[in-house]
Structure formats: C-alpha cells, structure tokens
Amino acid sequence: MSHTIKTLFDALWADYLHQCPSAEDIHQLLGQGATIINDHVAFRTFNLPEVGLDKLAAHFIALGYEAKGEYEFKQKKLFARHFEHPTDPSAPKVFISELLLEQCSDAVQQAAKAMVAQLPAGAAEQPDFLYRGAQWQVSLETYQQLLQESEYAAWLAAFGYRANHFTINVNELPGFASLVAVNEALKAADYPLNQSGGEIKGSAEVLLEQSSTLADKVAVTFSNGSLTIPACFYEFAQRYPMADGQLYSGFVAASADKIFESTDAR
C-alpha cells in the first residue's frame, strides 16, 4: 500500500509510541486535548548503498518533499539532511542522518554490514520500511561493542528503522508562550530533560531553540538475551522569524549534536 503524508506519519507515530510510551502522556499534558503540530521527525541510518540517507529520503520525496539544509557532525561521524514539503506547511519537516562508516573502526563497519546483509533485497523500498524497526538479529555482545564506539550505531542495531523522535512545534502550542514554559511544565510533571549543552539548545539569535526529554527505556530482545535500554524521545522546538518575517525552517548543527545525546545509555 502506498502512503499519503497523513498515513505515513500516522504509521510512524503508532510505532513510535511503543518505543516512547511517555509521548502520549506528554501530548496530553501539553496539548490538553488540542491538536499538536509536529515540527519534524528524525531518522537514523548507515551510509551503505542499500539503506543510506537517500533511500530513506525517497519515501518522502515521493510525497512531494524537497531536500533543504545539509549538516555535518564531525565528532559523531554523521552527515544529515533535512527535507520540507513546499506546498503543505502542516507536513512535518524530516531530518535524516547517516553514520559515515568509512570513518569508523573495522568492527563497527563489519557489524553494520552484517546487519544490512540480513535485510531482504529491496527492503528499503517497501512502504513500511520506515516503521519496521530492527529487521535483523544482533547479539548483546555486538550491541555492547558498538556502544563503546558509537552510541548512534548501537541505537540503530537495537531499534532499526523507525522515528527516532517526534518534535512538538512550540510556536503552534496553545497555552505556552515559550520553550522555557514548556520545559517547566515537563519538569513539574517529573519528565527528565536532556541537559547536554544546556536544557535549551540554541537561542533566538540562531533562530531556533530546542529541548528534549531523555529517551524512554524499553526492553529489547537481542539474539542471545534482552536488555532494557534508551529507545526514543520527545523533542520540542521554538522557531524565530528571519529578516523577511518568515520563521526559520532549518536546523542548527551545534544544537542537533546535543539532541542526539537524548538516547545516550545512562
């Protein structure tokens, strides 16, 4: 079944709730029954030809999305691109990153290739690929080994292809004038926030402020046992107008770098 924008994001959201069960309660806390507008949804992958950034992006380009900004995260060995829908302002932006395996150790490269080799031919073209999760078997030892070098790679090994996070558009959130107010409501309800790089990453000066919860922990079944580890998280974004009065629609690499750490094992 081919997707519309609505059916794809509905499917992504339904899968995401299994990995971030707190999102539904946060939705109620902040939205209080009102419709919540999503700013963006993010995905992770390896830069292998079968599953690279372009393969994931193709699902959105087929729905009319266009490529916009490009971002580099040298320390984390990541490249990313974001996508926007030119005629549907209600369509969430999409942020896709990929791990640059040629910059990683042989062990990480071999583990990633072994995972992807388990996928059926053409798997990434299937309509449900972006919410199928980890379609491979990985041992606890491989997960732990990946975690030593790249939390990003370890997360992908455990959770595969699904929304890493959804993001509430604070500009469109009734009853909250600022991201600070959103964070205060979350803390009052005992939701732990990502403090890496500060509770709020970015500023009005760079036209974007972001914060996020720490990822919910869920039990993951590996090939030789299970482990309860950080899964997906909820992000919150407030955008500011550019000189022409339009809200900034891109991302700030220095801030996104810290948002990635919402899934760090702790």
Task: Name the more confident of 251 and 264.
Answer: 251
Paired residues of 38 in beta bridges: 168
Residue 238, SS3? strand
Q: Which two structure tokens, joined as six digits, stand for 93?
A: 């932006």
> Where does the pLDDT of residue 184 fall: very low under 50, low under 70, confident under 90, or very high at 90 and above?
very high
- pLDDT greater than 80 at residue 81: yes
- pLDDT greater than 80 at residue 169: yes
* Strand bridging mode 93-99 / 208-212: unpaired
pLDDT in tens, 112-134: 999 999 999 999 999 999 999 99
Rounded to whole angstroms, how far apart are CA atoms 220 and 162? Answer: 14
**DSSP code string of 51-104:** TSHHHHHHHHHTTT-EEEEEEEETTTTEEEEEEE-SS-TTSPEEEEEEE-GGGS
- pLDDT greater than 70 at residue 266: no
Q: Are 203 and 8 in contact (CB under 8 A)?
A: no
> Where does the pLDDT of residue 102 fall: very low under 50, low under 70, confident under 90, or very high at 90 and above?
very high
pLDDT in tens, 150-168: 999 999 999 999 999 999 9
Q: In the prediction, which pLDDT does 34 show?
A: 85
- Single out the residue of 132, 77, 70 nearest to residue 102, CA to CA: 77
- Single out the residue of 262, 249, 45, 47 nearest to residue 157, CA to CA: 45
Paired residues of 165 in beta bridges: 42, 233
* Strand bridging mode 225-230 / 217-222: antiparallel
> Where does the pLDDT of residue 26 fall: very low under 50, low under 70, confident under 90, or very high at 90 and above?
very high
Q: In the prediction, which pLDDT does 2 show?
A: 85
Question: If you search the block for the tokens 């490529």, which residue do you land on?
Answer: 67
- pLDDT greater than 70 at residue 238: yes
Q: Which amino acid is at 157?
A: A
> Where does the pLDDT of residue 1 fall: very low under 50, low under 70, confident under 90, or very high at 90 and above?
low
- pLDDT greater than 70 at residue 265: no
Rounded to whole angstroms, how far apart are CA atoms 190 and 211? Answer: 15
Rounded to whole angstroms, how far apart are CA atoms 101 and 83? Answer: 23
Task: Tell me the C-alpha to C-alpha distance, in Å, between residue 30 and each of 37, 166, 183, 193.
Answer: 11, 14, 10, 15
State what percent of residues in the chain have pLDDT above 70. Answer: 99
pLDDT in tens, 35-80: 899 999 999 999 999 999 999 999 999 999 999 999 999 999 999 9
Q: In the prediction, which pLDDT does 45 show?
A: 98
